[in-house]
Amino acid sequence: MTGNLKENSLHVGVLVILAALFFVVSDYHDGNLARIMVLAVYAVGYNLLFGYSGLLSLGHALFFAAGMYGLGLSMNLLGFAALPALLVGIVFSAGVSAIVGFLALRTSGVAFMIVTLMFAQAGFLTALHFGEYTRGDEGFVIQQASRMIAGIDLSAHANRYFAAFGFFALSYVAVAILVRSPFGRCLVAIRENEERARMLGYDVWMHKYLAVIASGTISGLSGAAYALLFGYAGATFASVQYSILPLLWVLLGGAGTTIGPLIGTAFAFYLIDLASEITTAHLLVVGLTIVLLTLFAPQGISGELRRRGLKWLP
């Protein structure tokens, strides 16, 4: 079997398994999986920038929150229906990432991390400042009655699961295609060595800029999907914690692999879920597990699988 065929089979297999899981697992795990798939969209977006382009952002919560507030505020304040509101969320996060990318890419390395973090903090404080509309930390609920697209109630159990599946499948396949495209190859070349890529004839700045926009837009889609499917938007999602989480998920799953973000998100989610059942010191268990994984599988779970023989793993 050729590498491409194996990759495609893996992608189809992952999606088939995710769709089939709904019919197999309990309602409790259905809910978890829906949440994991939506958050994995966020990780997929983050991975495009970090894993494939080599740009470590500490401000992705801004893009996630831009999508979330774009959808939530347009529904609650402007009375938009769910579908147009979803588009507003996506377009708003694309716009925010275009502005942040334009300014932040004047820096590189540690400075880029700090600048993106500062932008995200500014976004977080803005959400708190305009608490009259955003209700700050407390957040606001998006009414169940308005969470409908084409007559489908997205708050219903099965609908929510398959909507989350749809969002994940869309971003997963889109990024899998993107990283195999000439654009994706160039991103990898830039990640490997910017100067060499420039010398070979690539507009490094423009490629990185487009990567920031694509990554921010996918993250925004995740934020909008989260608000739409779970009916809540709040400033917590704009906090620094939500900038660190996608980094953690991608590192755990394997940066620069298409399957890594899903693995990392699911692993971290269930690690917290299971550890909290066993002990109140569950964060200690989570922390230790992450330290061990980082020590013994520094390339993440899928990176480690790739190193141990599955060379074709995308």
Partner 1 sequence: MLEVDAIHAAYGQVKVLFGLSITVRPGEIHCLLGRNGAGKTTTVKSIMGLVPLLSGTVTMDGEHLSELEPYEIPGRRVGLIPQGRRLFAELTVEENLEIGLLVRNTGDAAKERVLDMFPRLRERLQQPAATLSGGEQQMLAVARALCIEPKVLLLDEPTEGLQPSMIELIRSALKRLRDEGVAILLVEQRIDAVLSVADRVSFIENGRNVETLPAEEAVRDRGKLAKYLGV
**Which spans of this chain sit near partner 1 (rule: CB under 8 A)?**
3, 182, 185-186, 188-189, 192-193, 196-204
Residue 195 or 277: which CB sits closer to partner 1?
195
Shortest Å, Cβ 200 to partner 1: 6
Residue 179 or 247: which CB sits closer to partner 1?
179
Residue 129 or 185: which CB sits closer to partner 1?
185
Axis crossing angle, helix 241-253 with helix 109-129, rounded to the nearest 10: 130
Q: Which residue has the tokens 């495609």?
A: 8
Shortest Å, Cβ 111 to partner 1: 21
Shortest Å, Cβ 3 to partner 1: 8
Letter for the amino acid at 133?
A: Y
Quick one: tokens of 168?
Answer: 């994940």
Angle at 115 between CA 259 and CA 68, to 5 degrees: 55
Shortest Å, Cβ 202 to partner 1: 6
Q: What is the DSSP string of 42-111?
A: HHHHHHIIIIIT----S-HHHHHHHHHHHHHHHHHTT---HHHHHHHHHHHHHHHHHHHHHHHTTS-HHH
Distance of alpha carbon 158 from its chain centroid, rounded? 22
Residue 56 or 114: which CB sits closer to partner 1?
56
Letter for the amino acid at 265?
A: T
Shortest Å, Cβ 298 to partner 1: 15
Residue 49, exposed/middle/buried by CB under 10 A (0-12, 13-18, 19+)? buried
Shortest Å, Cβ 303 to partner 1: 12
Shortest Å, Cβ 8 to partner 1: 18
Rounded Cα distance, 211 and 109, in Å:
16
Residue 102 or 205: which CB sits closer to partner 1?
205
Shortest Å, Cβ 172 to partner 1: 22
Helices (H), the chain: 3-24, 27-47, 60-76, 82-104, 109-129, 131-134, 157-180, 182-192, 194-200, 204-230, 241-253, 260-278, 282-296, 300-307
Residue 106 or 157: which CB sits closer to partner 1?
106
Residue 132 or 195: which CB sits closer to partner 1?
195
Quick one: tokens of 310?
Answer: 């599955």
Residue 43 or 179: which CB sits closer to partner 1?
179
- Measured torsion, CA atoms of residues 162, 21, 292, 286, in degrees rounded to the nearest 10: 60
